Structure 1
Amino acid sequence: MRITSESVADGIREQLFSIGDIPGVLWTPAEGSGPRPLVLIGHGGGQHKKGWEVVSRAFPYVTSCGFAAAAIDAPGTGDRPEHPEIRRLVAIIQEREAAGEPFGPAWPQLNETVASQLIPDWQTTLDALQKLDSVGDSQPVGYYGLSAAGEMGIRLVAAEPRITAAVLGLIGSDWLIDTAARITVPVEFVLQWDDEGNPRDSVMKLFDALGSAEKTLHANPGSHFRVPSFEIDSSIRFFARHLGGPRTASNS
C-alpha cells in the first residue's frame, strides 16, 4: 500500500492510497491509535470512492463509533482507467433504457464483468488495510453497499469470511439467489417500495434467500434514490451492535 495524500479535518484523518492499480481512501479518527473495527463501503454504479453516498456513511462511522472506513474505485470509475468492456455494456444498457426496452443479457454481463475484478480487489485491499496499525487484523469487519454496491456486496460478503456484518439492499437480481444463500452473517437489508429498477417482489425474494439467522428488512416508500437519511442512523446502530460499541450512538 502506498499513501498518496493525507489530510485531517473535523476530527477525521483521510488517507488516499493505491495498492498496485487499486485506488482507495481510508478514513480514521484523527486522534487515538491502535486497531479498530473497519467498515468497507461500496459506491453506486458509475460513481466513485468519495461520492456522497460513501462519505455520508463513512464520516458518521468514524466520528460516532470510532471505526475506520474505506472505499475503493470500481473498475472503470473514479481514478481507474477506462474499461472498454464495461463501457460497451453500459452503452448497450443506456440505449435500451432510452428506447424503453429491457436491458437483456447486457445487465448480468455488466455485473459479472465488474465483479470479476472488484471482488478480488476488495480482498486485496482488506489484506493491506489489516496490516496498518490504525486498523489491524484483530477487529471485526463490516460492509455497506446499496444498489450496484449491494450487487457486489452480496458476492463479497458470501466470499469473504472476515466480513461479519453487512448493510445491503436496493437490488433484486435473480442470479444472486444462490450466492445470497451462502451469507450467514447479520444483515440489514434496504428496500425502496417504489424502486423503478428493482421491483419489490424481486428484492424481497433476494432478502428471503439470505442464509442469515439475523436479518432485518427496512422497507420505505419512495423511488430508488429516495432512501431516507435516517437509514444512515440505523446503519450506525447496526454496525455498533455487531462490530463494537460506539462512543456516541445509541445501541438500540
Structure 2
Amino acid sequence: MQITSETVTDGIREQLFTIGDVPGVLWTPAEGSGPRPLVLIGHGGGSHKKGWEVVSRAFPYVTACGFAVAAIDAPGTGDRPEHPEIRRLVAEIQEREAAGEPFGPAWPELNEVVAAELIPDWQTTLDALQQLGSVGDDRPIGYYGLSQGGEMGIRLVAAEPRITAAVLGLVGSEWLIGTAAKITVPVEFLLQWDDESNPRDAVMRLYDALGSAEKTLHANPGGHFRVPPFEIDSSIRFFARHLGGPAT
C-alpha cells in the first residue's frame, strides 16, 4: 500500500492510497490510535470511491462509531483506467435502456466482468488495510453496498470469511441466488418498493435466499435512488451492534 495524500477535516483523517493499480481511500478518526472495526463500502454503478453515497455513509461511521472506513474504485471507474470491455457493455445497456428494451445478456455479463477483477481487488485491499495500526488484523469487519455495490457485495461477503456483518440491497439478480445462500453473517437488506431496475419480487427472492440466521428486510416506498436518509442511521446501529467499537 502506498499512501498518496493525507488530510484532516472536521475530525476525520482521509488517506488516499494505491495498491498496485487499485486506487482507494481510508477514513479514520483524526484523534486516537490503535486498531478499530473496519467497514468496506462498495459504490454503485457509474460512481466511484468518493461518490456521494459512499461519503454520506463513511463520515457518520467514523464520527459516530469510531470505525475505519475504506472504499476502492471498481474497474473502469474513478481513477482507474478505461476498461474497453466494460465501456462496450455499458454502452449496449444504455442503448437498450434508451429504446425501452430490457438490458438483455449484457447486464449479467457486465457484472461478471466487474466482479472478476473487483472481488480479488477487495481481498488484496483488505490484506493491506489489516497491516495498518489504525485498523489491525483482529477487529471485526463489515461491508456496505447497494445497487451494484450490493451485487458485488453479495459475492464478496460470500467469499470472504473476514467480513462478519453486511448491509446490502437494491439488487434482485437471479444469478446471485446460489451465492446468497452461502452468506451466514447478519445482514440488513434494503428494498425500494418502486425500484425501476429491480422488481420487488426479485429482490425479496434474493433476500429469502440469504443463508443468514439473522437478517432483516427494510422496504421503503420510492424508486431506486430514493432510499430514505434514516436508513443511514439504521446502518449505524446495525454495525455498532455487530462490530462493536475501537479497542481501548
- Aligned counterpart, 2:82: 82
CA offsets per residue over residues 133-163 of structure 1, 9 Å max, x none? Answer: 0000010000000000000000000000000
State the 1:245 CA deviation.
4.2
1:108 aligns with 2:136: no
Whole-Å Cα distance in 1 between the matches of residues 65 and 102 of structure 2? 43
- Aligned counterpart, 1:19: 19
Aligned-partner SS, 1:40: strand
Whole-Å Cα distance in 2 between the matches of residues 186 and 245 of structure 1? 17
- Aligned counterpart, 1:41: 41
Aligned Cα RMSD in Å? 0.6
Contact 2:67 2:245 in 1 (8 A): no
Whole-Å Cα distance in 2 between the matches of residues 103 and 50 of structure 1? 27
Q: Which runs of 4+ in 1 moved over 4 A?
A: none
- Aligned counterpart, 2:184: 184
Amino acid at match of 1:136: G
Whole-Å Cα distance in 2 between the matches of residues 108 and 224 of structure 1? 19
Percent of counterpart pairs with the same letter?
87
- Aligned counterpart, 2:99: 99
Map 1:115-130 → 2, pairs under 5 A: 115-130=115-130
Whole-Å Cα distance in 2 between the matches of residues 245 and 233 of structure 1? 16
State the 1:15 CA deviation.
0.1
Contact 2:36 2:245 in 1 (8 A): no
State the 1:242 CA deviation.
0.2
Map 1:1-252 → 2, pairs under 5 A: 1-245=1-245
Amino acid at match of 1:138: D
TM-score (norm 2): 0.99
State the 1:193 CA deviation.
0.2
Amino acid at match of 1:190: L
CA offsets per residue over residues 208-233 of structure 1, 9 Å max, x none? Answer: 00000000000000000000000000
Whole-Å Cα distance in 2 between the matches of residues 174 and 187 of structure 1? 18
Whole-Å Cα distance in 2 between the matches of residues 103 and 192 of structure 1? 20
Whole-Å Cα distance in 2 between the matches of residues 79 and 103 of structure 1? 27
How many residue pairs get aligned? The number is: 246
CA offsets per residue over residues 189-220 of structure 1, 9 Å max, x none? Answer: 00000001100000000000000000000000
